[in-house]
Chain A
Amino acid sequence: MLKENEKLKILVIEDNYGDFVLIQEYLSDEYSNFKIERAENFRIGRKLLVDHGDFSAVLLDLSLPDVDKPEKLVKEVLELANSSAVIVLTGYADKDFGMKTLSWGVSDYLLKDEITSSILAKSIQYSRERKRVNRQLEESEKKYRNLFDASPLPMWVLDRNTLEFLNVNKAAIDLYGYNRQEFLKMTVRDLWVEGENVGEETWKKNKDTSFSLKIKHRTKEGKLLFMEVETNPISFDGRDARVSLASDITGKMKAEQELYHSQQRFKALVQDGSDMISIIDENYHYSYVSPSVENILDAEPENMEGRNVFDFIHPEDEIRIKKYLKFAGNKKTVQLPSYRYKNGNGNWRWLETIMSDLRDDPAVGGFVANSRDITQFINQEQVLKESLERYDTVAKATSDLILDFDLETDELKFNEAISEIFGYSTDDIALNRKWWESKIHPDDFGRIKAHSREMVERKRKLMHTEYRLACADGSYKYVLDRSYLLTDTSGNPKRIIGSIQDITDRYNYIKAIEDSNERLREIAWTQSHVVRAPLARIMGLIDLLRNNRENIENITEILDNILISSEELDKVIRKIANKTER
């Protein structure tokens, strides 16, 4: 029904004036207030429709003078009429054609001869109502289309049987990287990951029902996505279809996986780690012991849980540990000093423990103790300590000067021999290489410098050298230097340890022997001349006598000379004998 204030506005396109007047009268019978306009031909009608588009209804006569083809006329008017209802007026002869116009969008057709006031009014009223409903339907469809297209979640419509894409929204295009044309040539199978059939199976089981599934999709670029898809059967343009709404849960899946890994890691740390983790209540009873205790202490957690911590701690360490535990409540964490702990085989192991106060944490409700077996470390430390003590004792006991030179810091250390043998007070000297080198005799310095350079550069482990070293009083001592090069694990020189022996006495002794030998050699040489001279003479004279017996005139002279030479020889031999006796 028309509302009171809504004024009816009718356009009549009719060449026959009589018909127009008739219509006008019919309308006056039904409506008190209306406006009517007339167009005698299509040209005028068109102009009126274009200029004033807001007619309530258009009454169109099909036989107009400027129109040959009524079909063309109807269609053009429908287009121009826009929101106005179009009612076709026709004669008997054109009844079939009038019916046909309905399928083009005409609201109603009236046979001119049958029109009465009430028929016309009713037709106008119905036509207008139908038009309004249609418009609402169109708008609603448009709204739904917008909802699909503008949805932030990827959506698509599939053929229910072939799984071909019939429509996709922008979010899907953005997510998967295929454009609309590409999508419309694909099926949803193209999104599925090769080798997985969860999509196929779920679809087969639920062909005509709603379902949802989690599935892996691959984008055009090959990126893997975890998707959660909800899909409902619909009818789409007359086809059996389903509309699907997908959400990307890749991030969620990743987070879940990470959580899982993190839990696994934590489990591995507690169960198989090299630390024993336990929870201890306020009375020092174990309420939890990690399974790793089996590897670390050869013990079973169930044999320990419920027992007092001090059942396992060495009695000699008990008081010390208890003292520390007093502070356990004051601070969040307390590091206990190393202590002995009885393992599953009854042997003592050294442990080191960090206690954390988690009594307030309902998941724990006690102290968390993190313990590590440091027995090996303690033993090594002991060995090291003994070795150091030995080194110290040797350095003290030896009369050698022990030198420890750090190549990196240029720091020199000596034992007491530096003052006892060489007279230096360690307070007065600069303990570095430069000082040391200044104490080497200048004549030896070049040689020693070359040696020590060779040691460091060629990494020679051991080096024996002899040189003179200045004492505090300026005198020199002869020393035998046995130096040993220490390297780090990569073989880089770190330190030189030198054992320097005072060999001055030995050196002087050897020198004295060498001098004495030299003198003896000289004496021997002289003696051989002195002794041999008279002997050679005697031998020569005798030879002369024997070979020239016939023609020697002065035989007496020869014999005299033999005698003189013999006496000389005798004298020399006596002299030597005397000297040796002394």
Chain B
Amino acid sequence: MNLKVLIIDDDAVVVFIQKKLMANNEISDSPLVFKRANPALDFIEAEENDKEFLILLDINMPGMNGWEFLNELNNKPDKHRYHVIMVTSSVEQRDKEKASQYPMVREFLEKPITNESCKKIKDIPEISHFFEKV
């Protein structure tokens, strides 16, 4: 599959839950996990150009935070390859509005994510074709 799934979150428990749910909902059996945003960015840049990325992104992280990561992506020419799902414990409307300003943000989810959240992800028009059953 040409869609790579990345989980960027510094919280191990959150990563554990999300990995489990990705697998259970057949989004990805082996999502790539990054505790920091920077290495994730390096990884993306190293990948081939035909790859697309589903990124579950936390906002509050040490080092580069979620917003800074988004800004980096925003500077790239091939933005359509990035499908970002914001996953945050914040319940503030301000953050939600801020996120919607970025063109590659597809969804804004509050922690914890659930099976319901996963279904929403699979229904996102830009990426739904990756999950169609043959």
Interface of A with B (CB < 8 Å)?
A: 525, 528-529, 532-533, 535-537, 539-541, 543-544, 547-548, 557, 561, 564-565
Contact = CB atoms under 8 A, between A and B. Distances in A.
Given A537-B17, A540-B17, A544-B21, A529 B90 contact: yes
Contacts of B114: 540, 543
A547 B118 CA distance: 13
Nearest to B59: A529
A543 B111 contact: no
Contacts of B88: 529
Contacts, number: 58
B112 A543 contact: yes
Contacts of A543: 17, 112, 114-115
Contacts of B111: 532-533, 536-537, 539-540
28 contacts: A528-B89, A528-B90, A528-B92, A529-B60, A529-B88, A529-B89, A532-B91, A532-B111, A536-B14, A536-B110, A536-B111, A536-B112, A537-B17, A537-B111, A540-B14, A540-B17, A540-B112, A540-B114, A541-B17, A541-B112, A543-B112, A544-B17, A544-B21, A548-B24, A557-B16, A561-B13, A561-B16, A564-B13
Contacts of A541: 13, 17, 112
A566 to B, nearest CB: 12
B116 to A, nearest CB: 10
A-B complex: 5 closest residue pairs judged by Cβ atoms: A540-B112, A536-B111, A532-B89, A540-B17, A537-B13
B64 interface: no
A548 B25 CA distance: 11
Interface in B107-127: 110-115
Nearest to B92: A525
A541 B16 CA distance: 9
Contact of B115 (A532, A536, A547, A565): A547
Contacts of B24: 547-548
A557 B14 CA distance: 13
Contacts of A529: 60, 88-90
- Grouping DSSP codes into helix (H, G, I), strand (E, B) and loop, the A interface class, with mixed when no group exceeds half, is helix
B36 interface: no
B87 to A, nearest CB: 9
A545 to B, nearest CB: 10
Interface residues of B, number: 20
B11 interface: yes
A532 B11 CA distance: 13
B81 interface: no
B4 interface: no
Contacts of B92: 525, 528
Interface of B: 11, 13-14, 16-17, 20-21, 24, 60, 88-92, 110-115
A540 B90 contact: no
Nearest to A552: B20
A565 to B, nearest CB: 6
B11 A537 contact: yes
A539 B115 contact: no
A304 B21 CA distance: 120
A56 B17 CA distance: 179
Nearest to B116: A543
Contacts of B17: 537, 540-541, 543-544
A559 to B, nearest CB: 12
Given A537-B11, A537-B17, A525 B112 contact: no
A533 B20 contact: no
Nearest to B91: A528
Given A532-B111, A536-B112, A543-B17, 7 more contacts: A525-B92, A528-B91, A537-B11, A543-B114, A543-B115, A547-B115, A565-B13
Contacts of A537: 11, 13-14, 17, 111-112
A537 B21 CA distance: 13
A528 B59 CA distance: 13
A401 B92 CA distance: 47
A533 B89 contact: yes
B60 to A, nearest CB: 5
Nearest to A526: B60
A81 B111 CA distance: 164
Nearest to B94: A525
Q: In this complex, which of A535, A541, A564 has the most chain B Cβ atoms within 10 angstroms of its Cβ?
A: A541
Contacts of A540: 13-14, 17, 111-114
Contacts of A533: 11, 60, 89, 111
Contacts of B11: 533, 537
A226 to B, nearest CB: 103
Contacts of B21: 544
Contacts of A544: 17, 20-21
A528 B16 CA distance: 22
Q: In this complex, which of B24, B88, B90, B112 has the most chain A Cβ atoms within 10 angstroms of its Cβ?
A: B112
Contacts of B115: 543, 547
B47 to A, nearest CB: 29
B13 A532 contact: no
Contacts of B13: 537, 540-541, 561, 564-565
Nearest to B111: A536
Contacts of A561: 13, 16
Nearest to A541: B17
Contacts of B110: 536
A47 to B, nearest CB: 149
Contacts of B14: 536-537, 540
B98 to A, nearest CB: 12
B11 to A, nearest CB: 7
Contact of B20 (A532, A548, A565): A548
Contacts of A539: 111-112
A557 to B, nearest CB: 8
A544 B15 CA distance: 13
A562 to B, nearest CB: 9
A572 to B, nearest CB: 12
A540 B22 CA distance: 13
A564 B16 CA distance: 14
A383 B112 CA distance: 79
Q: In this complex, which of A536, A547, A564 has the most chain B Cβ atoms within 10 angstroms of its Cβ?
A: A536
